[in-house]
A and B are shown apart, each in its own frame.
Chain A
Amino acid sequence: MSLYLLTILLLLLIAPLLLGTIKALKMWLLFKRPLSPLQGYRDAAKLLRKETVLSEEASVVTRIGPFLVLAPLLIVLFFLPPAARGAWYVSFVDAFTLTGLMALSTFFLMLLGLDGASSFGGIGASREAFIAALAEPAMVLTIFAVSMMAGDLGVGQAGANLARSFPTNHMASFLFAGISFFLLLLAENGRIPVDNPETHLELTMVHEAMILELGGVPLALVETAAAVKFVIFASLFASLFLPFGADLAWPLALALFVGKLFLVALVVALVEVHTAKLRLFKVPNLLGIAIVFAFLSLITFYVLGA
């Protein structure tokens, strides 16, 4: 029990650090003087001290929205596969529940964008709806395929099964699912081929456009939600697709798990440095490739058993 809670607390604590690390790595790779990876904490501390100013048009949605953006993601944190052997985990939560909870968070983020009554919020919300609608089927398919391979529909149980015995004769379908999941990780978190997290250029922004109206504590909450979403995806990737090392003593296993999260962050930073942002109408192509790979993973597993 204590290990379970400790893992969740650790994931929450390092969430801003991961995004900060990506930013710092990107700046370092582009020969800029890197920001401190701890910048996320500093921003949050500053935002928490600021007063909250709401738009005149804002309704009750803007007041409760930030909490509802963060809350489903916090619930998802409790359903993740275990990081170390012997830890507690919730075994029965399947792909649909996880995807649905994340979609709920995205839904409130979109409402938040619309509620401020700025035109950018509307643009951002419509784009986010466009991307989310394409990403979710692929997400369900991918997690479903992996949990089929692991022999249990519950994601937590699937992660535990994978850590215990890796299905080496299903490597091909495993690889396809991994490719699909990585593309989804980029798309759902608004990383570069889909959305540029750094820019405030109105033509390209998606996530930033929705939260343009926010400030103070609500902004801190939404930023935390973005960080938590990344940490959820990274830890799902780490426990479903890099499932080794859970047998070690728990401090070591936990450290290894955190190391894997930073590995994911490193790969994301490399991808971001090396690719250009796609035009919005090219994004369906990328997500279509993700769907193809997810489907391929499922049929390779079912038909061929490879």
Chain B
Amino acid sequence: MVDLLIGIFLATLITALFTTRLYRLLMWYSLNSLSLGLLALLLGRSQHDGAMVASGVITLLLKAGAIPWILKRLSQRFALERRIVPNIRIQYAIMLVPAILVFTFYLAEPISHMVSGNANDVAISISSLFLALLLMMEHRNIAPKIVGFLAMENALFLLGTTATGGMPMLVELGIFFDLLMAIVVINLLLRREEVRR
């Protein structure tokens, strides 16, 4: 079950890389967070870790629900470009994505001896970190860059949950508030853009 959820996590991220519509991208991000939240719930229940269950619930509510909704509202209000064409042409991305995956899978090999948990999850979370970076790099518009940033945070969260058996609750809460702050900052940024226009 954990493997399936991790598979969905990576699959949604890869699909997001090839998306050219903003709302579709937000949907993929939401599904990505959904699988992450379910994974945290599952792991937390099997390890009897209340903190991880709580952070899973927060992930589900915040990242799968609230943040995509807020981003959609923001993009409607500021009339952001909804057609997002990647800078990297899709033919090259098709070659780049497997290259990144192979590279990171072998990169994670030495790390996997160090962690206690499942080594595959570490490899997949590192590769999704790189893919999220690619998502940020390949777009020129602001909205997909934001989504790429959020996806990168998701990948880090996955790394934290699977490799270390859950970060301390305080750190995770801090990260959640950071995310909300980032959304607020983005909101302010967009407002300034609007004033300048």
Contacts and interface: CB of A to CB of B under 8 A. Distances in A.
A contact face: mostly helix, strand, loop, or mixed: helix
Interface stretch (A7-15, A54-62, A298-306): A298-306
A288 B1 CA distance: 28
Contacts of B102: 299, 303
A284 B105 contact: no
A295 B95 CA distance: 11
A173 B123 CA distance: 14
Given A172-B7, A284-B91, A304-B105, A292 B97 contact: yes
Contact of A303 (B4, B6, B105): B105
Nearest to A284: B91
B122 to A, nearest CB: 10
A303 B124 contact: no
A216 B16 CA distance: 46
Interface in B1-53: 1, 3-4, 6-8, 10-11, 14-15, 18
Nearest to A179: B11
A132 B18 CA distance: 21
Which of B1, B7, B18, B106 has the most A CB atoms < 10 Å from its CB?
A: B7
Interface residues of A, number: 25
B120 A306 contact: yes
Nearest to B4: A171
B14 to A, nearest CB: 7
Contacts of B94: 285, 288-289, 291-292
A293 interface: yes
B101 A296 contact: yes
Given A171-B1, A284-B91, A306 B6 contact: yes
A175 B90 CA distance: 23
Interface of B: 1, 3-4, 6-8, 10-11, 14-15, 18, 90-91, 94, 97-98, 101-102, 105-106, 119-120, 123-124
26 contacts: A171-B4, A173-B7, A175-B4, A175-B7, A175-B11, A176-B7, A179-B11, A285-B90, A285-B94, A288-B90, A288-B91, A288-B94, A289-B18, A291-B94, A292-B94, A292-B98, A296-B10, A296-B14, A296-B101, A303-B102, A304-B119, A304-B120, A304-B124, A305-B120, A306-B3, A306-B120
